[in-house]
Amino acid sequence: MYYDVIMAGFGGQGIQMISQIVALAAIRKGLNVTYLPSYGVEKRGGRTNVTLVIADEEIGSMVSNHPKCVIAMDTIAVDKYKAQVAPKGLLIANASLVPLAMLDRSDIVPLPLRCNDEALALGSAKLSNMIALGAFLQRSEILGFGDVEAVIDEVTPERLKKTIPANLEAIRRGIEIAANGSVR
Amino acid sequence: MNAIFKRPDSLKDTITHFCPGCTHGIAHRLIAETMDELGIADRTIGIPGVGCCVFLYNYFPIDVLEAPHGRAPACATGMKRAQPDKIIFAYQGDGDMAAIGTSEIIHAANRGENITVFFINNSVYGMTGGQMAPTTLLGQQTTTSPYGRDFKSEGYPIKMAEMLATLEGVAYSTRVALHSPKHVNQAKKAIRKAFEMQINEMGFSVVEMLSTCNTNWRVSPLEALKMLEREMIPYYPLGVFKERTGKDFL
Amino acid sequence: MTEKKLTKGNIALAEGAIQAGCRFYFGYPITPQNDIPEYLARNLPKHGGTFIPAESEIASINMVMGASASGKRAMTSSSGPGISLMQEGISYLAGSEMPAVIVNIMRCGPGLGGIAPTQGDYNQAVHGGGHGDYRNIVLAPGSVQEMFDLTIKAFELADRYRNPAMIIADAMIGQFQEPCRLTPERPVEFPEKSWALTGRRGRDPRLLKSLYLGDYEQEEHNLFLKQKYDEIQENEVMVEMQNLDDAELIIIAFGTPARVAKTAISLAREEGLRVGLIRPITLFPFPVNEIYEHSARAKNILVVEMNTGQMVRDVRIAAHKDAAIHFYGRPGGGFPFPDDVLGEIKKALGGGAR
């Protein structure tokens, strides 16, 4: 098993948070993980990109320009990474911000999710990252809800602990939407 | 028979490489006498800079680290932090401290490193053949200021003891001279005071010693001593520029 | 078994230093290595250690010298221009036979350069850098775990041989995260330091110096150092080798390019191309024998570096004369992706060395 994913968006969308959750859950499952946050000049300008590689074998490259999955939380992320998705790969896009017309590659699987709207419906726009995470879990099939539930406390900073139940709820909602395969 | 004058234990019985008439030897002797009097030689580590002072280990029977040019205060910093119970002194010339090593001396002083620095100011680069130093007097001819130092081109002689005294971390900053018995006695007291500052953990201490370099000044040893009195002291006044009396800096 | 923690490369290195018994850090800020001093500023005091934010890299390396001369484990870290400023001090450390660990999380250069991942300082680290006839021990971690383990190793080697040890890593190795065991694999070695300057009480005075003016004294000293470097070459080579038995082509790379090469080799093998890897972990000592032996059989070498060709010159010296040596370099923050390397593999196997 070898799976690489790039998660991208702007600062504050919680990309680091969901990538940390996935990384730790994978480690706990006994998998190898590399976690590469934005590096170099990309650090500037408020963008957040994380490249995660998860494998049951030794991981070579910690960078990927043909990831099996891209989670793009805004239009800039779609612009930058859409072309990189491996053929037959998955492009999870935050359709609350990204026009559907941008998801125009026919050789990959687009999964538009109205992350912000779904999150608001659950009570807070801040849950949009968890909607995307749920969808990723459902489609990538490398980690289950239980794997994530087991590590979310560890990854969540003390001052945000009270948000854990809402986060888990949002992850479940993401899983549910992805399973139905449609934009609500 | 009682010996009333003898070589200090902290000075090796050897011939120095210093030119006849050079006052480095006096500075060495004063430091050795003081180490004897304070009984610290067996826990003292000396750090010479580069230049005529570099052979310090040939003359003092103590542990010695040879520092890169100008860096002795940084080496002394690392050493004192690693072994605060030891007495650490740097011994630098003017090319070493006042030119290439200004950054290291200023910041070691400013951090209040509990070390002692002996600074030999003879107004030239001695070992390399008498080139102009930042301490060279206005109008003074050297091999690289053959027409005399001109402030319009080379700026003014730098007053290290006064400058260092402005820094909060400095416990003791003084300038003494080595050209007459009276001044040598004063210098000895300053050296002792500087070591005591370190022993009492008061902070950074520096003793600037006006010295002669008769070889590079191209005069006789006796004339060099007179020149020091006549030409250096009016520009580089002697005195104590800072002296901490208690640990009030805390 | 100790639990592995998702850890950033620079942090693993800094924690490795603490675990190695380093209690003295002196440094000056420069990107992309600032995690190291920031971690040590926070954590060294908890271990009774000393952290000084030095006024310059020149002061940093000389403070390291002072602490090291005292017999203590001391280090500094920097990047590109800062490492250049330290070269005088590193040369003195080598000449006076003092241990020290110097970390270079490389910046692109020349000049101020950029902060993207690069390997432009191979020559500086491996072939001197400072003045005079000396060598650094040079370690090149290829994973977060190695950032931790090789830091401990660097302190041990530096002490064992009384020689500066450098760790060089590109910013990718410094800044990415992997699960890492943050405890030493085996007890850390602490050799006796019968040369340390601690005051002469109860013994003869000691001296650490690098000035030799007497007839033939310097030559004698240089030959003595040479003997030591030969001994290091003989005993301390570390190298990772993969898939070499049937390899028609050997990739030689260190740091991030070696990681990328591993992925490229998997891709190549899926296509039936027989490719193997030699990853020098020590850059000095260089795995000369391993490269000679395997190149004699494989006949094809592809060196991948994030520069315009620095290690490749050492590979040329080491390789068998019949081996064709190819080079793929991405300098200045340009990055070799796995499919780029795969393309180079195919080119190299298609024939034509350069």
Average pLDDT over residues B130-158: 97
Chains A vs B: touching, with 3+ CB pairs under 8 Å? no
The average confidence (pLDDT) of chain C is 96
**pLDDT tens-digit series, residues C188-243:** 999 999 999 999 999 999 999 999 999 999 999 999 999 999 999 999 999 999 99
Looking at the domain assignment, is residue C94 inside a domain? yes
**Is C263 in Cβ contact with A36 (below 8 Å)?**
no
Looking at the domain assignment, is residue C198 inside a domain? no
**Is A63 in Cβ contact with C6 (below 8 Å)?**
no
pLDDT of residue C353: 42
Q: Which chain C residue has the Cα nearest residue B55?
A: C211
Q: What residues 79-138 of chain C have any CB closer than 8 A to a CB of chain B?
A: 88-89, 92, 96
Residues C225 and C115 in one domain: yes
Give buried/exposed letters for B63-83 (b at 16+ CB in 10 A, else e): bbbbbbbbbbbbbbbbbbbbb
| All chains having 3 or more CB pairs closer than 8 angstroms to chain A | C
Looking at the domain assignment, is residue C200 inside a domain? no
Q: Does C2 score more than 90 pLDDT? A: no
pLDDT of residue B3: 85
Residues C263 and C227 in one domain: no
Taking the CB of residue A22, how many other CB atoms lie within 10 A of it? 29
**Is A65 in Cβ contact with C6 (below 8 Å)?**
no
User: What is the length of chain A?
Assistant: 184
Looking at the domain assignment, is residue B1 inside a domain? no
pLDDT of residue A95: 96
Average pLDDT over residues B224-243: 98
pLDDT of residue C352: 45
**pLDDT tens-digit series, residues C133-162:** 999 999 999 999 999 999 999 999 999 999
Residues C152 and C14 in one domain: yes
Looking at the domain assignment, is residue C296 inside a domain? yes
In this structure, which topology does domain A2-180 adopt according to CATH? Pyruvate-ferredoxin Oxidoreductase; domain 3 (3.40.920)
User: What is the length of chain C?
Assistant: 354
Residue A87's φ and ψ, nearest 5 degrees, are -50, 140
Q: Report the CATH number at residue C252.
A: 3.40.50.920
Query: Measured between CB atoms, does B4 come within 8 Å of chain C?
Result: no
Residue C6's φ and ψ, nearest 5 degrees, are -65, 115
**Is C6 in Cβ contact with A36 (below 8 Å)?**
no
Report CA C351 to chain centroid distance, whole Å: 33
Residues C90 and C62 in one domain: yes
Looking at the domain assignment, is residue B12 inside a domain? no
pLDDT of residue A182: 55
Report the residue from C171, C178, C339 with minimal CB separation from A33. C178
Total number of domains constituting chain C: 2
Report the residue from B42, B57, B64 with minimal CB separation from C201. B42
Report the residue from C4, C176, C333 with minimal CB separation from A27. C4
Contacts of C202 in chain B (CB under 8 A): 42
Distance CA C54, CA C58 (A): 9
Of A78, A93, A92, whose CA–CA distance to A47 is shortest?
A: A78
Report the residue from A36, A59, A65 with minimal CB separation from C337. A65
Residue A156's φ and ψ, nearest 5 degrees, are -80, 125
**Is C58 in Cβ contact with B80 (below 8 Å)?**
no
**Is A60 in Cβ contact with C261 (below 8 Å)?**
yes
Size of interface A-C (CB pairs under 8 A): 78
Q: Which chain C residue has the Cα nearest residue B83?
A: C70
Contacts of B81 in chain C (CB under 8 A): 24, 50, 52, 63, 66-67
Residue B194's φ and ψ, nearest 5 degrees, are -65, -45
Q: Please give, rounded to a whole number of angstroms, the shortest distance from the CA of A72 to a CA of chain C.
A: 21
**Is C26 in Cβ contact with B71 (below 8 Å)?**
no
Residues C215 and C253 in one domain: no
Q: Does B167 score more than 80 pLDDT? A: yes
The average confidence (pLDDT) of chain B is 96
Residues C88 and C216 in one domain: yes
Distance CA C165, CA C168 (A): 10
ipTM of the complex: 0.95
Q: Does B55 score more than 50 pLDDT? A: yes
Looking at the domain assignment, is residue B5 inside a domain? no
Query: Measured between CB atoms, does C292 come within 8 Å of chain A?
Result: no
Size of interface B-C (CB pairs under 8 A): 131
Q: Please give, rounded to a whole number of angstroms, the shortest distance from the CA of B66 to a CA of chain C.
A: 5
Q: Please give, rounded to a whole number of angstroms, the shortest distance from the CA of C234 to a CA of chain A.
A: 29
Q: What residues 29-58 of chain A have any CB closer than 8 A to a CB of chain C?
A: 32-37, 39-41, 58
Of C174, C170, C100, C171, whose CA–CA distance to C137 is shortest?
A: C100
Contacts of A24 in chain C (CB under 8 A): 6
**C125-130: long-range contacts at Cβ-Cβ below 8 A with a sequence spacing of 24 or more?**
C125/C166, C125/C168, C125/C283, C125/C284, C126/C283, C126/C284, C126/C286, C126/C310, C126/C311, C126/C314, C129/C83, C129/C84, C129/C87, C129/C90, C129/C91, C130/C87, C130/C88, C130/C89, C130/C90, C130/C91, C130/C94
Q: Which chain B residue has the Cα nearest residue C196?
A: B63
Query: Measured between CB atoms, does C243 come within 8 Å of chain A?
Result: no
Query: Measured between CB atoms, does C256 come within 8 Å of chain A?
Result: yes
Distance CA C141, CA C121 (A): 14
Residues C229 and C244 in one domain: no
Q: Which chain C residue has the Cα nearest residue B87?
A: C199
**Is A33 in Cβ contact with C333 (below 8 Å)?**
no
Distance CA B91, CA B105 (A): 12
Q: Which chain C residue has the Cα nearest residue B50?
A: C211
Indicate which of C176, C241, C270, C340 best probes the interface with A, i.e. most A CBs within 10 Å of its own CB.
Answer: C176
Could you tell me the pLDDT band of residue B126, with boundaries at 50, 70 and 90? Answer: very high
User: What is the length of chain B?
Assistant: 250
**pLDDT tens-digit series, residues C255-297:** 999 999 999 999 999 999 999 999 999 999 999 999 999 999 9
Q: Residue B127 is which amino acid? A: M
Name the H helices within chain C. 9-19, 35-43, 57-69, 80-95, 122-126, 144-161, 171-175, 217-235, 256-270, 288-298, 311-318, 338-349
Distance CA C160, CA C47 (A): 24
pLDDT of residue B249: 57
Looking at the domain assignment, is residue C113 inside a domain? yes
**Is B64 in Cβ contact with C197 (below 8 Å)?**
yes
Of A12, C198, A33, whose CA–CA distance to B86 is shortest?
A: C198
DSSP A104-170: --TTSEEEEE-HHHHHHHTT-GGGHHHHHHHHHHHHH-SS-HHHHHHHHHHHS-GGGGGGHHHHHHH
Q: Report the CATH number at residue B123.
A: 3.40.50.970
Which residue range(s) make up the domain with B87? 24-243
Contacts of C56 in chain B (CB under 8 A): 103
**Is C263 in Cβ contact with A61 (below 8 Å)?**
yes
- Over chain A (184 residues), what is each successive 10-residue block's mean pLDDT? 95 92 96 84 70 97 95 96 96 96 95 96 95 96 96 94 96 95 55
**Is C265 in Cβ contact with A40 (below 8 Å)?**
no
Residues C217 and C261 in one domain: no
Report CA C319 to chain centroid distance, whole Å: 21
CA angle B96, B208, B84 (to 5 degrees): 80
Query: Measured between CB atoms, does C209 come within 8 Å of chain B?
Result: yes
| All chains having 3 or more CB pairs closer than 8 angstroms to chain B | C
User: pLDDT above 70 covers what percent of chain C?
Assistant: 98
Contacts of A66 in chain C (CB under 8 A): 339
Of C47, C279, C276, C252, whose CA–CA distance to C141 is shortest?
A: C279
Chains B vs C: touching, with 3+ CB pairs under 8 Å? yes
Report the residue from A24, A33, A39 with minimal CB separation from C171. A39
Q: What residues 110-129 of chain B have any CB closer than 8 A to a CB of chain C?
A: 111
Q: Please give, rounded to a whole number of angstroms, the shortest distance from the CA of C127 to a CA of chain A.
A: 27
| All chains having 3 or more CB pairs closer than 8 angstroms to chain C | A, B
Total number of domains constituting chain B: 1
Residues C243 and C342 in one domain: yes
Looking at the domain assignment, is residue B160 inside a domain? yes
Looking at the domain assignment, is residue C201 inside a domain? no
Residue C268, phi-psi category: left (phi > 0), alpha (psi -120 to 50), beta (remainder)? alpha
Query: Measured between CB atoms, does C58 come within 8 Å of chain B?
Result: yes
pLDDT of residue A45: 57
Query: Measured between CB atoms, does C214 come within 8 Å of chain B?
Result: no
Of A57, A84, A54, A64, whose CA–CA distance to A72 is shortest?
A: A84
**Is B63 in Cβ contact with C199 (below 8 Å)?**
yes
Contacts of B43 in chain C (CB under 8 A): 199, 201
Which residue range(s) make up the domain with C280? 239-349
Looking at the domain assignment, is residue B7 inside a domain? no
Residues C254 and C230 in one domain: no
Q: What residues 170-189 of chain B have any CB closer than 8 A to a CB of chain C?
A: none
Q: Does C130 score more than 70 pLDDT? A: yes
